[in-house]
Amino acid sequence: MEHQTPLLPTALKWGVIISAVLIIFSVVTYALGLSTNQWLGWLVYLFIMGGVFMSIKNYRDTNGGLMTFGQGIGVGLLTGLAASLIGAFFSYMFFSFIAPEMIGEMMEVAEQQMVEAGNMTEEQIEQGLEMSAKFMTPGFLAAMTVVGYLFFSFIASLIGSLALKKEP
């Protein structure tokens, strides 16, 4: 391959696009009172995977229509990393300053799910909630944002790289 397009500009561009979409989605679901809806939460991961796939396709198209599997994985993971860092910053700010009450709401949903499962005693539910409360902090939620984004970015990178690779 004579000319190789650098991975970083494409990754940063798509990382910002994914983050912007997810931030808008988060604000809208919060404003509509739908933030604790788990089904809507899964859409976040579809947005991530779709954005990573588009970043890989965009990279291939700007690289003369050619891309190795490794380049696809690289641009996909860099895209996920950029999106995850922006997303983690937003998550921290959101749970710290914009909507700190959301942590309490998430704890209530967790308690409700434990009660509805019907296989735990009151004491077990209390212990579970005490343990969950230790992890329900803005910092921990931001860290989990990075982990979740990177996991789904890796899956999308594998699929996208296999589907879109075009070796010279």
**pLDDT greater than 50 at residue 70:** yes
Own/partner contacts of 51-54, CB < 8 Å, gap of 24 or more, are 51/14, 51/17, 51/18, 51/21, 51/79, 51/83, 52/14, 52/18, 52/76, 52/79, 52/80, 52/152, 52/153, 52/156, 52/157, 52/160, 53/156, 53/159, 53/160, 54/14
Q: Where are the domains of the chain?
A: 7-164
Q: How confident is the model at residue 110 (pLDDT cuts 50, 70, 90)?
A: confident
Tens-place pLDDT, residues 128-152: 899 989 999 999 999 999 999 999 9
Tens-place pLDDT, residues 146-157: 999 999 999 999
Determine the 3-state secondary structure of 166 from DSSP: strand
Phi first, then psi: what are they for 67, rounded to 5°? -165, 135
Tens-place pLDDT, residues 41-60: 899 999 999 999 999 999 99
What separation in angstroms does the CA of 51 have from each of 101, 105, 156? Answer: 30, 29, 9
